[in-house]
Every structure is written in structure tokens, then in C-alpha cells.
Structure 1
């Protein structure tokens, strides 16, 4: 997308000063007046680019799995640990991380002024569609995490901003799906050149289908998935290479956050590796996630016929395990990873090492891809085609349909990863298929920030996010061969609690309620 020097110098400070998180009412104040700003198409383009700046962050996406049973955030100052273990309160810094009207205000301001620009109607409609999508996305996120949130679609006066109330989540979500339906046909199916990364028709339909699945509007979801399937997206041939920087903006990517080293870098790749690889191990995959991966024969590890061995737990597993997670004995960056011996540099209780003994690999499968892991051009995928296929399969199953299209969607995902097709003799009922598609969602989309939404909408929090969080077993790793010898117990990382009457929603940040006395708190906080 065109985030050029003109935009950075001319509009960034203007838009940012206009859109502080705690103020919904301010108009831009800068040497460049609102009157002179909207004089040309290039002005409108630069202002729209300002709406894109910061619309989503790789940080919030990759950390969101730590709120689920997939991952553990070891540093409380990263603002996700308390949300993951059930101890968050309204005064925590972390509760403010997604209550954010900055992008919404930018888009409201853009939409209030764009009609002042003389430009082609079709392009103007596209620009409006992009801004409306970015605004709708924020309302999707906030309504998903907080429930009722103020629905603000225009600039407010100071008095209005101080008294705005929370809109019922159902109304917010209807607004979002209506917006996405309205703008889809105004958006291109694809872009080229420097416009690659802008919001497409596929992005609008995919976010709409995601919301419809979450809200149990299965018929609408299926219809939108079919539209997306006709837009030309395909699964990238290699699951592991799908997430490499050399393959960004590939045929599977529907929506992502664009980054460029030095200019607008993604600075979070370094949080994943452990200390001997120059990283911090800020996020650590859990044993629960590792156990979710099937054996290569398509059987789960708790099936007596699977061939699984507790003393050799990583052999003959779904290839997505080794593509997503570095486990003890796996060769990574030229050496066999060892987090289970006290004298090893990556030992699990060492500084900047993983407390679970596992580190994230999905986005850093080849550290040599990056000159500097803290300054990369690695894009962050927000929506990809595999999710759409899984969404379609789940919506069909929940509609009582288990036809060949459901199996075909799952087969495509599994065979791309190197797994066998779905065994029709085993998965021969809606209940069994439901179990399968839920597991496929977990392992296929692991560490991509979607697991918490699944836990939330399936209402499985007490079952999966309470009790002890475990890591790998202890033992030894042969430095020359990688041979694994496990002799100890599983690492105990933390004990979590889950209050089903409270923890499916995050607390409204106290600082927001201090500013606006009309914002009631979510139940239990």
C-alpha cells in the first residue's frame, strides 16, 4: 500500500494528533487546514493511507493466542499474561490494548470529508469502501473482546464524547456485517504494484463470513464463503513456506498487515526465538497445543492404534507441528534445540528462554531470512484462504450438512500439510466431523491469533483454560544427533483460572471509565 514519504511527513502528525485513543471528538489541528487538505485526489489518497497506519498490529495478533490454551506470555509487561490466566482487572495496562478508537476516528474524519474531493466516482467509492472496512474491522475486534461498545460513526463534540454510552454488541455487529455487505462490490478483487495489501473484495467477504460463523448465521456464512471461493484464492503449496518473508502476499493471503524493513518495520520477530538464537521467548507454545497435532496416520495421540509414544512424542506427527513449533531435539538454525538440560543455553528456566520448553517457529522457520530479526519486512497475515475453507466446513456441519464439499475442504487443507485425507469411515457423523474441524482449526491456524475467538464462541473456557499449564518433559538431547531421552515430568508453567461468568469478555479499561462515567463495567470486574 502506498505509505509514501509525502504521507509520512504531511499527514502522519496531523492524523495522529487528531485521533488520540481517549478523545472521539477532536478534529485535526495542524498547519495544513481541513479546507486545504481535500483539494485533490492525491490528498484523498494520502489521507486514506493515514487510515491504514496502525489499523492492526502484528503484536496484538501474535499475542492473542496467549489468552487461549495455545500459548503462554511469560512477561507480564507484555500485557497479555493476566488475560490468559484469569487475573486481569480493569486497571491493568493490558485491558486497554484493544479498546482503541484511533482508526475509527481517522476513518470517520476521512468519510466526512472525501466527498469534497473531485475525483472519479468509482475510485471514490473504492476509497470509501476501504475506510469503511478499516472502521468495521475495529468494531469487530472490540465487540468480540468487550461485548457492548460505543458505536461512533461521526466526530463528536466534547460533551457528546463524555457521555457516549455502550451500544449493544448485537447492534454493533449488525452494523459491521451491513457495512461489509455494502462495500464488497465497490472493492477490487486484487491490486498490483504498490497498491498490493489494500483492502479487497475478498477481505470484506471473508471478515463478514468470519463474523457470521461466530454469530451462528450459517446460511449467510456459507453463501459468502462460496463467493470467496470464486475469487481465485488458492492454498500455497508449502505450509511452512507460506509464512516466510520471500512468499508474502502469496495466493493464500486475503488480508495482511504490510511492513517494510527500516521504513515501517515489523519489530516483533525477535520475541519468538530463545536466547541462543538472539530472541526473548516472550511467547511459548503449550503442551496442550503440541498434543492437539495428530500422528501422520491421521489418528490422535490418545488413540491406542496411533503409534504414539510418550518417550518419543514428536516422531511421526502432523508436519504442521514441526513447521509451527520448535520442540526438544528438532534441528533449528543448524543445531538441535535443547531446552530440557540445565547446562543448555536454551534451558527452559534461563533468561529469555521458553518456560514451556517450546518456542514458536511458524514465522521464524528460517532466521537467515532476516538481516535483523528486530527490523524486518515480514507481513502479518490477518485472514488467509485456509481459514475460509475451515469456516465453510464448520458452517456446513453446524447446518446439519456433511456432504462431499465439507470433506473436500478439509482434505485440501490436510493434504497441503502432508496429512492423509479425512477417513470417511471414522468421521461419519456430524458430531465426529465437528470434533475434527475444531481440531483442524486449532492446528492449522495455531499461533495466528484466532484460537481465543474459538474458545470464546464454543464456550469451552472452563475445559481448556483452567488448571495447570504444562510444557515439555525434561531429559536430554544429544547435541550431535538430536536423539531425545525423556526421563522427567512435564514442566509446570502456571495455574490458570477461568470464571465463565466473567472471562469470556475483557474488562472495560478503567481509564476509559474515568473519562466517561456513562460506560458501565462488564460483569464480574
Structure 2
């Protein structure tokens, strides 16, 4: 009965932070709730901690969830969103501005989370409680604050560092440099790593662990190009012996497996108040869904063939049967014309799933199969309790491999990290190198291409591709020009034009600072990013 107590409490606390109970909120404003009613006992501290976790999934910040599952893929070369002209696709097309409400909301959400973290950290020393538990709670909240700042850093560069709850006037601070923000993130993560346990007991499933903090540190360092440090942090996760690859790539995302050993950090969704809409958004129209994220032809073309080579180099690729002989993860991730789902063929052509047939029909003709749960019922899709995986062990292996490749420290451990993922995809042991395209050699440049492609397919539609092409500085090539979908006709060669995109490297690598923030703080204090004036 104790297994999900921690997550259950989040479900109970969630209405306290979002419900329209005027009397309660008038007496106890969210950011003052802790100061007036909490901070006397360990139970108060724990309830406050739950409130901080809930900021990543509550109603005030719902656009963060939408952006992660629907927006981030559409801001990359892997997909577009099903709804033409919406803000997800506008950002992907390069249509942004300082006055755009959506990027302002993405900025504001993170600072709301940061404020909640700061309230907690300002008050956590007050209760009479076990000091070890107190320090562990601090570590969890510092992780959550670091994650919010990491998003801000990736999208805006240097931003104001706020470490305490501030009034409106006190918020008038200039931007810190990107290097200062990076150092602040790493400081929070290092402090979390020192105090967090390697595991929690089952009743606290979903709480942040040492492995999660190390894995996030590895990601942050990788994005910063600090290769040796990134490899060291990733190796530390590997050496813990706590996390490993789940046996099945496809089943990894099933709700029944949400707390499996591969997951390091996930946004928790449990109970009626905290279910999410992933199944409704992602299923295709002929199953009763909204068509959500539509993979692009460019992504399909980039998936390797079973001999480990791209389609334009592979001897097993047949242009008349382009979906055959592909990496198995392709079939677990994409619905394409003629593919099957639960034993039923999805024709796409001549069907409601064909582009333009309905408002929820894919723009590209492809649909995302990844994340679709076996418990979803056709034409009766409902919110379900799936978690949103933010960080998993597969990424740690890829971080380790990429960091070692970039630092020039290429050895067998690099090949092993990539081969573990490929072997899992093919359903064989890593030692069975005749049954999957094992990596056994290569120059730095060749291995760089391999690991980048491996990230593309292994982590597809999980919200990381956009950050990858930004940090690799390849977005100006991949996000500039036309993008395409399936052939217009079933046996045709000309592909559907999905949309035109524009990416100017002189300013598109960073978002504009929201104009409202500049107006509030003052243009002499809050400087705009280059090119957005």
C-alpha cells in the first residue's frame, strides 16, 4: 500500500496549489503559504517539498508540459505539430519576436518554478526535523532549480540569477553572463549530489536521486562542451550500479513500466487530478486521437538501415520499399503508411489519417508511435497516468560516448556504450555482434556522426533534438528551407511539402528576451539578445 505514497501526496496537494478556493488562497497566497502555515515540523517540510515538485506539473505551468511533448519536437528537424500555424510550428519556422506570448510564457514558467524553489530553500532550516532529511530535501529542490535554469540558459543564454524570493522592485536585476548561470547550475547540482541518496524506498518512487543529479550534471556539461567533465559525471552514474537499460525499448514508455530502472528523472502524473493527455494528443485520427507530433521525411531518411549505414549508402535499402530494413527503433517510434498498430494496418492513403483529411490529420503523413500505451482504448481515449521521462540511462550512455569522442579519448568503452543501445533495439545481447550493426572502429569524425545519429533515433521526440542541433550549431542548415512528408501519391516520388522554415544564425540560436520583461525592468538593465532589437 505504501508504494506510491509520495506521488499520491502530490496528487492530494495539487488542488491546494491550483484550485479556485478564494478563501484559502486569500488567506494563504501560494508563495506565502509556507511562511504562515508550514515550517514547524518535518511533515510541513515534506508537504512543502511536494509543492515544489508539483510546480513542474500543475495547472499554472501546463504550457511547459504541452511544450515538452508537442512544442520541442516541432522546434527541431524531426517533426512538426499537427495544427498548422500554431505557436509550436511558428517557433520551428523561425517566427519569433520579443512580444510573442509563447516564449514569454516559457520564460515566466521557469521563474515561477525558481521562486517556489527559493521560498522552500529560504524556510527549510526552520522546522525541527532530522538534519539528514533536511539536507536531502534541499538537494532535491536545488536539482529542480538547476533544471529550470538549464532551460533558460539553453534558450536565452545569460539570464538573471535569483536565489531568494523577491518583490517586484527587487526583481529589477541585470542579466548574469551565460558562464555565471552555468556555474550556478553546476553548484546547485554538486550540492545535490553530495546529499541525495542513490535510491529511495518504494513508497517514495519518483523522488530525485544521486544518479539523477549526476546525470543532469553530465547533460549540462556536455551542452557546455566540457567533455572530460561530462564523461566523468556520466561514468559516475554508470558506476553507481543502480540504473541500467530497460529490457525493451518499446515497452520502456508503457505506463505499467513508469518506474523502471532506466528512468533517472521524470515528471510524475498520477491520479485523476494529475493525469496527462499524451494518449489523446499522440494517437492518430483513425484511433480517435489528435495527431499530435508528426515526424518529417528528413527524420525518416536519417534513420539507419539494418547494416548500420544511411539509406544513400546501404546495400539493403530499396527506394521502392523505403520503410524496410530500418533500425528497429524506427518501427517502435513512427507510424508510416502501411505500418501496423496492435495488429491493424494503418493505410494513411485514402484514410482520415491522410494529410488534410481532418484537422487532426498529420501534416506529414507520419505519426508518432512512441509513447502510445497498450491501455489506451480506440475512440475512447482519456487522460492517463503516464510519466514524462526527462532523463534516462540511455542518454547517460550517449553523453559518455559523445564526450569521450569529442575529447579524443576513444576506447572500447565508447563502442560499448553505443552498442548497448543498438543491441537492446535489436533484442539481442551486446556480445552477439553478428545480429546488429555493432560499432567496432572509426575516426573521431566518423564516430561523431555515429553518436549524433544514435542520439537522433534513440531519443527521438523526447524533447532533446532541438537542444542538440542548437549546441552542435547545425540548426542553420537543418532548420532552413522546406521540410517534407510522405509521397503525395502512394507509389509516387514527390513528397508532400509540409512547410518552409527560416533560421538565421546571426540571431536564431537564442530566443529574444520577452519585451514585457525589458519594459518592467528597464532596457538599460535588461539587455536584449543580439538581432532581436
Structure 2 unmatched ranges of 5 or more: 1-5, 58-63, 427-434
Partner residue, 2:35: 34
1:54-92, Cα deviation, whole Å (9 max, x unpaired): 326442222211101001124267531111011111222
TM norm structure 1: 0.91
Partner residue, 2:68: 61
**Cα distance in structure 2, aligned partners of 1:74 and 1:364:** 16
**Cα distance in structure 2, aligned partners of 1:420 and 1:16:** 60
> How many angstroms does 1:298 deviate by?
1.6
Given the alignment of the two structures, is residue 508 of structure 1 paired with residue 516 of structure 2, yes or no? Answer: no
- Of 331, 344, 348, the match for 1:339: 348
> How many angstroms does 1:3 deviate by?
4.9
- Of 308, 323, 331, the match for 2:332: 323
Superposition pairs for residues 335-374 of structure 1, below 5 Å? 335-341=344-350, 344-351=351-358, 352-364=360-372, 366=374, 368=376, 373-374=381-382
Partner residue, 1:159: 169
Given the alignment of the two structures, is residue 391 of structure 1 paired with residue 405 of structure 2, yes or no? Answer: no
> How many angstroms does 1:39 deviate by?
1.3
SS in structure 2 of the partner of residue 375 of structure 1? coil
**Cα distance in structure 1, aligned partners of 2:182 and 2:369:** 34
> How many angstroms does 1:300 deviate by?
1.4
1:218-269, Cα deviation, whole Å (9 max, x unpaired): 1111111111002221111111111111111101101001112412111232
Q: Would the alpha carbon gap of residues 250 and 29 (structure 1) be closer, same or farther in structure 2, given more than 3 Å must change? A: closer
Q: Would the alpha carbon gap of residues 29 and 363 (structure 1) be closer, same or farther in structure 2, given more than 3 Å must change? A: closer
Contact 1:58 1:268 in 2 (8 A): no
TM norm structure 2: 0.89
Aligned length: 503
Partner residue, 1:457: 471
**Cα distance in structure 2, aligned partners of 1:315 and 1:157:** 59
Partner residue, 1:257: 267
SS in structure 1 of the partner of residue 489 of structure 2? strand
* Higher alpha-carbon deviation: 320-329 or 504-513: 504-513
Given the alignment of the two structures, is residue 47 of structure 1 paired with residue 55 of structure 2, yes or no? Answer: no
Partner residue, 1:519: 526
**Cα distance in structure 2, aligned partners of 1:396 and 1:214:** 14
Q: Would the alpha carbon gap of residues 509 and 16 (structure 1) be closer, same or farther in structure 2, given more than 3 Å must change? A: farther
Q: Would the alpha carbon gap of residues 275 and 11 (structure 1) be closer, same or farther in structure 2, given more than 3 Å must change? A: closer
- Of 212, 222, 226, the match for 2:221: 212
**Cα distance in structure 1, aligned partners of 2:181 and 2:24:** 24
Contact 1:18 1:29 in 2 (8 A): no
Q: Would the alpha carbon gap of residues 15 and 458 (structure 1) be closer, same or farther in structure 2, given more than 3 Å must change? A: farther
Partner residue, 2:453: 439
> How many angstroms does 1:9 deviate by?
5.3
Contact 1:414 1:421 in 2 (8 A): yes
SS in structure 2 of the partner of residue 416 of structure 1? helix
Q: Would the alpha carbon gap of residues 406 and 271 (structure 1) be closer, same or farther in structure 2, given more than 3 Å must change? A: same
Contact 2:263 2:392 in 1 (8 A): yes
Contact 1:243 1:362 in 2 (8 A): yes
**Cα distance in structure 2, aligned partners of 1:289 and 1:391:** 21
Q: Would the alpha carbon gap of residues 314 and 51 (structure 1) be closer, same or farther in structure 2, given more than 3 Å must change? A: same
Partner residue, 1:227: 236
Contact 1:268 1:373 in 2 (8 A): no
Given the alignment of the two structures, is residue 429 of structure 1 paired with residue 440 of structure 2, yes or no? Answer: no
Given the alignment of the two structures, is residue 96 of structure 1 paired with residue 77 of structure 2, yes or no? Answer: no
* Higher alpha-carbon deviation: 50-59 or 441-450: 50-59
Contact 1:180 1:204 in 2 (8 A): yes
Q: Cα RMSD (Å) of the superposition? A: 2.4
1:317-361, Cα deviation, whole Å (9 max, x unpaired): 1110010000000012442212233xx121111221001000001
SS in structure 2 of the partner of residue 160 of structure 1? coil
Partner residue, 1:111: 121
**Cα distance in structure 2, aligned partners of 1:490 and 1:185:** 53
